[in-house]
Amino acid sequence: MPPIWAPSIIGAQTPKTARVRDYWLGGSHNSAADRRLAEQFTLCAPQLPYLVRTHRDFLRRAVTRLVHDGVRQFVDLGSGIPAAGNVHEVAQRLAPECRVVYTDIDPVVVTESRELLAGDTRTAYLHADVRRPEHILDSPDLHGLLDLDEPVALLAIDVLHHVPDSAGPAELLTTYADALGPACQVALSHTCPDEQLLDAIALYSDIYHQPLPECAFRSAAEVGDLLVAFEVSEPGLVPIPLWLPDPDTEPDQNPEYFSGCAAVARRR
């Protein structure tokens, strides 16, 4: 049950994958219908909540590293619902002056997120398609919040599988980085097409007769190709849990789990 002060959930009877994700991340911005869909997903793919948490843990470690590097401004592509440990929480805990422009294509996600962020003058939430960079880069909200003469980090966390090769994901990343200034860094995590994941998607479609949207999961080599215009920083493009794991914790490398890879990179 969400707390009494929680923002409303639009169309609570119609589940939203963004709220399923929030549920798996331990957030309270989800409805009974979202939790039912979460159960259906985990019936077919018990590893899915783990994968979601792996991406979110990378976001936390990458944002922490970027703030320590002096970055105070972030543009987050395909943000989902900014509850449960999102960019502004991580960044502003370390440096309260950090500013974050969130973006998402889903209008319900955008409306609910704006409600969640109401009153936070250091965040903005744009309704935009990552494949239309001009809608984000030319936005008055972005220019009102960010100073592009200062370093900006672009975040693409578990979103580029929504961008097929035909939309030119490598060129898109380059376009964003070029517009966001010479000190722009990119933090990217991407789900890989492992067999278990593809089997689980097929199983879900068979059981529930609901084909999931086409996703361009990419191998680590294909993700590397998205970063051709970038210099990948240490420790390189690596399995997500191995990207600068927290000191004193054993990175989880259970091969039973779905795989993904992650990197932070600078424009060459």
Ligand X SMILES: C[S@@+](CC[C@H](N)C(=O)[O-])C[C@H]1O[C@@H](n2cnc3c(N)ncnc32)[C@H](O)[C@@H]1O
Q: Which residues bind ligand X (CB under 6 A)?
A: 18, 21, 55-56, 59, 78-80, 104-106, 109, 129-131, 157-159, 162
Coil vs helix vs strand at 93: helix
Residue 9 and residue 47: Cα distance in Å, rounded?
26
Cβ 26 to ligand X, closest distance in Å? 12
Our measurement of the distance from residue 109's CA atom to the centroid of its chain's CA atoms, rounded to an integer in Å, reads 13
Distance in Å, CB of 176 to ligand X, minimum: 12
Q: Which residues of 69-91 are buried (b: 16+ CB within 10 A; e: fewer)?
A: eebbbbbbbbbbbbbbbbbbebb
The CB-nearest residue to ligand X is 78
Q: 200 vs 268, which CB is nearer to ligand X?
A: 200
Closer Cβ to ligand X, 162 or 267, answer by number: 162
Whole-number Å distance between alpha carbons of 18 and 163: 17
Comparing CB distances to ligand X, the nearer of 35 and 131 is 131
Closer to ligand X at the Cβ: 33 or 248?
Answer: 33
Residue 93 or 268: the one with the smaller Cβ distance to ligand X is 93
Integer Cα distance of 182 and 178 in angstroms? 7
Smallest gap from Cβ 159 to ligand X, in A, equals 5
Minimum separation from the CB atom of position 220 to ligand X (A): 18
The count of other CB atoms within 10 Å of the CB of residue 4 is: 5
> What's the closest the beta carbon of residue 106 comes to ligand X, in angstroms?
4
Distance in angstroms (rounded) separating the CA atoms of residues 2 and 256: 33
Q: How far is the CB of 162 from ligand X (least distance, A)?
A: 3
In angstroms, the CA 41 to CA 64 distance is 31
Residue number with CB closer to ligand X (54 or 268)? 54
Burial 128-151 (b: 16+ CB within 10 A, else e): bbbbebeebbebeebeebbebeeb
